[in-house]
Structure 1
C-alpha cells in the first residue's frame, strides 16, 4: 500500500503601495490591491477548492486526508477581506481529517538572517494556528521549503516539532527516491518528509500543458503511477503544492477540479490510501540519511535560494531590513514592529529577482512591478520612511 500525502501552501503577501521618496506617512501597504487580489483568488480557487476537499472527506468517510500551511500574512488578510474562506478552513479542521503545519508567521527568510526573529515568528504562528483551528502543529515547513542540516538541528533543539517538510531535490538524493521518511545526519532527532516534485509538478504545472506527452492527465492514470511506485520506490507520495494550483494556476476549464474530484476514488480503488504528514511519521520508519549542507528550496530549476538573494539589490535590501531589527524591537511600538515584520516577507525580495528564461517568466507572473528594479526602489523608499520612525540614535 502506498500513502498519498497532500500538503497545500496558502499564502498572500502584504503588497506595498507605490511609494516614492516624496511620499510620507506610515501607510505602506496597498489594502485595496491586496483585497482585490484576495477576493479574486478566493472566488476562483480558495472557496471551490476547500468546498471540494470537504465533500471528498465526507464522501470517503474520512479516508481522504490533507494538510495545509497558512501563513500569518494570509490569515490576517482573510480575517479582513474574506472571512468566509477562513470559516471553510475551520469546517475542514473540525472533520479531524486535516492537519495544519507550522512556519514563520510572516513567510520570511529570517532563519538565514536572524535566528531570534525566526524563533519569534514561529512561536507567533504556532499560537495563531492553535487559536483559530485548535491544533498545535507538530510538523514544520520553512518558507519556500528552505532547508539545510543547520535548520534541522535548530528545529530539533526547540523540541517543538516531530518533523520537517523539505524539497526532494535530486542533487541531495543522488538517485534515491523521495518517497520515504529520511533523517538528517549526525543523529539530529527530527524526521524529514520530502516533496516528490515530479508528481507534484505534474499537477501543479503540467496539468493543462497540451504539448506534455502525458496530457491529458486523468485521475486513473495518476493513481496508477502512485500505485506502481509502491515498495519499489517507497511507501509514500508527498504531493506538495500551492492551493492556487486549483482554479488559479490551473483554470477551472482545464478540468483540474474534476481531476481532484475523481482522484481519491481512483487511489483507494487500487488499495492505496491518504495520510497527513504526522500520520506518515506514525506509520513509517525512516530509511536513510538526507544530508544537505547546502541550502535548498522548492523554487526555480536550481532549487536554491537565488530567487531571493541572488543579486546585489536583494542582498542590499535584506541587509538593510534585518539590520534594523534591534532598533525596531527596542522601540516596543507594536505598529513599527508589525510593519517591519511585514517587510521581512520573502515576496518583497522575490520581486527583485533578475533571473531570465523559464524561471524569470514565473517571477514576472507573480510580481506587481514592471521590473525587479522598480520593486527594489519601492521597497527601499518604504524602508527609508520606516527608519524615520525610529529614535535618531538607533538608526
Structure 2
C-alpha cells in the first residue's frame, strides 16, 4: 500500500540591521526588530494561520486517513511567541489531533554539525525538549538544517535517540534507485532514511504558479495521478517542502489553497493509497537497502551541495570565526551571550553572503542586503562587537575567580570545637535529679 508523506519546513530567520564599525562597542542591538516583526506578521497572515486552519479542517474531515509532519526551527518559534502567539496555538491545535508529527532540527537552524559536534548535540537536545513542552511529544525523526547530510549524521543522531532521518533524494546518491522507498544509512543499519522526491516536491514547492511550466495549471487530480502512476514501483513518496509555498511563494490567488484542500480526496480515491508521517512510515515499511553518502549534500536546487552557504572565502571566514568562539561562549555561560551566539549561527546569515547565487533568492525569502559584501561586512562587524563583549565577560569572570582565591578564610578560635565546662552551681541551688 503506497503512502504519501508530507513534511514541511517552518523557519523564520532573525535579520541583522545595518551594523557599522561606529556601532561596535557602543550598541549591541544586532537585529532589525521592525523588519523581523513586519515579515513575520505578513507570513503569519498569508501562510501559517490560513494553512494551519486548512490542515485542521482536512484532519477533521478525513480523520486518521490524512497526516502531515512539520520541522519548526527554534528561531521561528521565538518569533511566533514574540510577534504572533496565535500561530503557536494553531500548531498546538494540529498537535492535539494526533495526526501531526513534529520533526526535530537544530534550534537556531544552524550548520553546527559541520563545525562543532558539542554545539550540535546541545542545540538538538534543547530543541527536542522545547518541542515536547509545546506539542506534547519528543521527536524521533530528525531533519538537519538545509537537509545537510552525510554518513556521519545518522551516527550522531542514533546516540541522541533518533530513529529516522530525512535527506535529499539526490540523483548522484541514488543512481538507478528510486527515492520512493525506505532505506538504511550505510553507517547506522538500525536507523531509517527517508529521501525527498525532488520532482514531485518541486511541482508544488517551486513550479505551481509558473505559467511557463508545460504542466500549468496543476490540479489536485493531475498531481494525484502522477503519484498513482508510480504505485507499482513505490512504497513511500516523500514530499518535503518549505511551508512558505502556501500563500507566500504561491499566493492565495494562484489557487494553492484550493489545490491542497482537494488533494487528500484525489490521492485517497485509490483505496491502496494513504497518508503517513515519517515515524509511522518506518514502523510499517521495511528498508530495501543501504544508502552511502560519504560527502555532504543538501537540498540546494543546483548542485545539491553546500556552495550556497559555504561557497566563497567570505562565507568560510565568517563561519570559522563564529565557531572558533564556541568553547569560550559555553565556558562563560552568560545567558545574553549564549542567546546572541546561537542567533548568529542561523544558516541564512551565510546564505546572504553567497556570490554565486546572490540573485537567485526566492521572493518569499529575499536577501535583506544590497550585496553579499554588505552582508559580510555587517556580519563581521556584529561578530567583532560580540567578541568584545565575550572578552569583557571572560575578564570579569577571571577577576571574580581571582578575588575569591585571594580572600583569606577567617581563622577559627583556638578553642573551637571544644566542649565548654558547665559553670559551678550557686550555693543553695537545688540539684536536679537525672531521670533513670
Query: Which residue does the alignment assign to 1:369?
Result: 369
What does the per-residue CA deviation read over 1:51-109, in whole Å, with 9 as the maximum and x for residues that have no partner?
00000000112311000011010001100100011100000000000000010000000
Q: Which of 53, 56, 71 is residue 54 of structure 1 equivalent to?
A: 56
How far did 1:187 drift?
A: 4.7
Query: Which residue does the alignment assign to 2:416?
Result: none
Query: Which residue does the alignment assign to 1:87?
Result: 89
Q: Determine the C-alpha separation between the residues in 2 that align with 1:274 and 1:94.
A: 18
How far did 1:342 drift?
A: 0.4
How far did 1:229 drift?
A: 0.7
How far did 1:363 drift?
A: 6.4
- Verify the 8 A CA contact 1:2 1:226 in the aligned structure 2: no
What does the per-residue CA deviation read over 1:145-166, in whole Å, with 9 as the maximum and x for residues that have no partner?
10000112221233x1111000
Q: What is the TM-score of this pair, normalised by structure 2?
A: 0.87
Q: Match of 1:27, SS?
A: coil
1:174 and 2:182 aligned: no
Aligned pairs for 1:1-395 within 5 A: 1-23=1-23, 24-158=26-160, 160-232=161-233, 234-271=234-271, 272-356=273-357, 360-362=359-361, 366-391=366-391
- Verify the 8 A CA contact 1:299 1:305 in the aligned structure 2: yes
- Verify the 8 A CA contact 1:350 1:363 in the aligned structure 2: no
Q: Determine the C-alpha separation between the residues in 2 that align with 1:149 and 1:245.
A: 30
Number of equivalenced pairs: 391
Q: Match of 2:299, SS?
A: coil
What does the per-residue CA deviation read over 1:19-49, in whole Å, with 9 as the maximum and x for residues that have no partner?
1000122211112111100000001111110
- Verify the 8 A CA contact 2:184 2:193 in the aligned structure 1: yes
- Verify the 8 A CA contact 2:154 2:188 in the aligned structure 1: no
- Verify the 8 A CA contact 1:195 1:240 in the aligned structure 2: yes
What root-mean-square deviation, in Å, do the aligned CA atoms of Structure 1 and Structure 2 show?
1.4
Name structure 2 gaps, 5 residues minimum. Answer: 396-436
Q: What is the TM-score of this pair, normalised by structure 1?
A: 0.96
What does the per-residue CA deviation read over 1:287-307, in whole Å, with 9 as the maximum and x for residues that have no partner?
011110010011131011111
Q: Determine the C-alpha separation between the residues in 2 that align with 1:122 and 1:186.
A: 20
Q: Determine the C-alpha separation between the residues in 1 that align with 2:83 and 2:322.
A: 28
- Verify the 8 A CA contact 2:155 2:188 in the aligned structure 1: no
Q: Match of 1:335, SS?
A: helix
Q: Determine the C-alpha separation between the residues in 2 that align with 1:330 and 1:164.
A: 31
What does the per-residue CA deviation read over 1:209-248, in whole Å, with 9 as the maximum and x for residues that have no partner?
111111111101111111111122x111100001110000
Q: Match of 1:171, SS?
A: helix
How far did 1:394 drift?
A: 6.0
- Verify the 8 A CA contact 2:3 2:236 in the aligned structure 1: yes
Residues 325/174 of structure 1: CA separation in 2 closer, same or farther (3 Å cut): same
Q: Match of 1:33, SS?
A: helix
Q: 4+ residue stretches of structure 1 with deviation over 2 A?
A: 186-189, 362-366, 391-395
How far did 1:328 drift?
A: 1.4
Q: Determine the C-alpha separation between the residues in 1 that align with 2:124 and 2:232.
A: 36
- Verify the 8 A CA contact 1:300 1:307 in the aligned structure 2: no
Q: Match of 1:44, SS?
A: helix
Name structure 1 gaps, 5 residues minimum. Answer: none
User: Which has the greater radius of gyration?
Assistant: 2
- Verify the 8 A CA contact 2:30 2:382 in the aligned structure 1: yes
**Which stretch of the first structure deviates more once superposed, 192-201 or 360-369?**
360-369
